[in-house]
C-alpha cells in the first residue's frame, strides 16, 4: 500500500488517501509525537478496512512525516512486544 496524498485540516488533523482505498478519506490525529487513525470516511466502492490495514496506514503516514520512531516506540507496542517474550 502507498500513501498517495495527505494534507492538514482544521485543528491540526491530517487527512490522507491510500492507493488501495482511493475513495476513502482517513483522518489522523496527533498524540504526543506521532499520529494515529481517528476516523475513516469509508467508501462502499473500497474494500473493508481491517485493524492491520489501519496500523499499516499509521506507519506509512508517520514515516512520511518523520515521526516513525515515536510511533514504533509508543507504549502500546512496547507493552505488546514484552508480552510476546
6 in Cβ contact with 17 (< 8 Å): yes
Question: What is the pLDDT averaged over residues 2-23?
Answer: 95
- For the segment 33-79, what is each residue's pLDDT rounded down to a tens digit? 999 999 999 999 999 999 999 999 999 999 999 999 999 988 666 55
83 has pLDDT over 70: no
41 in Cβ contact with 22 (< 8 Å): no
pLDDT at 85: 47
pLDDT at 11: 84
Question: What is the pLDDT averaged over residues 18-44?
Answer: 95
Exposed (0-12), middle (13-18) or buried (19+): which is 54, by Cβ within 10 Å?
A: middle
What are the boundaries of each domain within the chain?
Answer: 3-84
8 has pLDDT over 90: yes
Amino acid at each position: 500500500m502507498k500513501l498517495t496524498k495527505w494534507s492538514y485540516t482544521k485543528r491540526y488533523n491530517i487527512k490522507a488517501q491510500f492507493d488501495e482505498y482511493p475513495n476513502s478519506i482517513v483522518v489522523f490525529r496527533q498524540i504526543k509525537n506521532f499520529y494515529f487513525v481517528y476516523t475513516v470516511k469509508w467508501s462502499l466502492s473500497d474494500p473493508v478496512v481491517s485493524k492491520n490495514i489501519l496500523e499499516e496506514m499509521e506507519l506509512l503516514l508517520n514515516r512520511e512525516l518523520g515521526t516513525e520512531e515515536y510511533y514504533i516506540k509508543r507504549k502500546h507496542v512496547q507493552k505488546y512486544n514484552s508480552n510476546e517474550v
